[in-house]
Amino acid sequence: MRNSYFLSQPHQPFFILGFVNFITAMLIFMLSFKGVFLLSVDSLFFHGFSLIFLSFTPVFLGFVFTTFPRFCQTSVIENSRYQNIFFLFVLSSLLFYLGAFTTPFISTLSLITMLGAFSWAVITLLAIYKTSTIADKHDPFWILSGFGFGLLSLVVFILGFKDIAVQVGIYLYLFIVVFSVGQRMIPFFSHLMFEKKENFLKIVVGLLLVRVVSESIYANSTILIDLALAFIIGSELRRWKVPFSHPDLLLRILHIALLWIPVAFLLSAIASTSELFLDISTLKLGIHALMLGFLLTVLIGFGTRVTLGHSGNMMRLNQVTIYLFYFTQVVVLFRILTSLIASFGFDFMMSFDISMLAWFVLFGSWAFIYFKVLIFGVKLK
């Protein structure tokens, strides 16, 4: 088993696990949200933890395990090391689902198991960072810092402060990790020539810290911070001259993902204004715009690129994948539409159902095409 092709590269098992959890966790959440059955844990806790740590984390961790040694110009991670971390992630996932239907105690065991697996992953990345002899460790530092915030989010989840844990997990962990990787790799892939601003990431991370603290103290108090983030990041992307209509679809989807960042923070400011002053619920519009618009779009783009590039396949998209790239944006827009319908006081369940169906179509279709590549190394025609 440990010598199988499936486990031969770090991204393969972690991608598989992440995509399986994207489908499983969302199916359970959808059915519980519609009242088909009751969970033994809070549904928002289930939704937040399962998406952040069972779904997004394995995919991005698989990518970072592949690229971080290259960033630091060190040797690759030993197979046995990332395989053991992977099996702990699998155990945590199984315990979490079991606990959701039995007792919260088992869910807590899942969180503790995840803490062990995640800590091992961070220690692995830290060792790579420390042994690296490169002069410029700017980007690896921020990637590692993001994973450090991931550890903090996990501890806060275990302590029971789920709202704060979700804020830390999304804005200080997932966003910082993915944006740190993206602002390095996407311009490199696209051959964008510009001089990086030394303090850009420091300013963004500082504002995100203030944002999380402010939101934790008083809900919807982050309007000005969100507007500042939208302006600063949007201005930087404009300076990079990112071609959002790039002819290469593998690059275009990554460019579109970057565009979603300032849009998501702008929508977050609008949503907070509506909820704070007009008492209008937007069903977490800002968070979902960032999670789906930026993180999900990057995930599909990077996931496809890495799967093709590390399997000996040509860096060429088949027609179904081209449709899936566009369909990713359909998933995002339907989720935003659901929030807008709810904000006007209308019944949003039909839109919710359509957005869920779109979600399952997206992940199911991607899995149908690329799981055989990840598991068996199949060459696509």
| Residue 344 in this model has a pLDDT that exceeds 70 | yes
- For residue 246, the model assigns a pLDDT of 79
* Chain segment 146-163, per-residue pLDDT in tens: 999 999 999 999 999 999
3 pLDDT tier (thresholds 50, 70, 90): low
The model's pTM is 0.96
Residue indicated by tokens 């440990």: 2
Q: How far apart are CA 316 and CA 309, in angstroms?
A: 10
Q: Which of 285, 291, 253 is nearest to 272 (CA)?
A: 285
190 neighbors 246 (Cβ within 8 angstroms): yes
Look at 39-48, 261-270, 288-297 and tell me which has the smallest mean pLDDT.
39-48
Spans of all domains in the chain: 5-376
Topology annotation, domain 5-376: Cytochrome C Oxidase; Chain A (1.20.210)
| For helices 104-131 and 57-72, angle between their N-to-C axes, nearest 10 degrees | 10
Q: Report the pLDDT averaged over residues 276-292.
A: 94
Q: How does the average pLDDT of the chain come out, rounded?
A: 94
* Lowest model confidence (mean pLDDT) among 3-7, 51-55, 139-143, 372-376: 3-7
Show the tokens assigned to 234. Answer: 């949007």
pLDDT at 118 over 70: yes
pLDDT at 2: 62
Q: Which of 272, 368, 274, 376 is nearest to 321 (CA)?
A: 368
Mean pLDDT for 322-334 is 95
Distance spanning both ends of the chain, measured CA to CA: 28
Is 39 strand, coil or helix?
A: coil
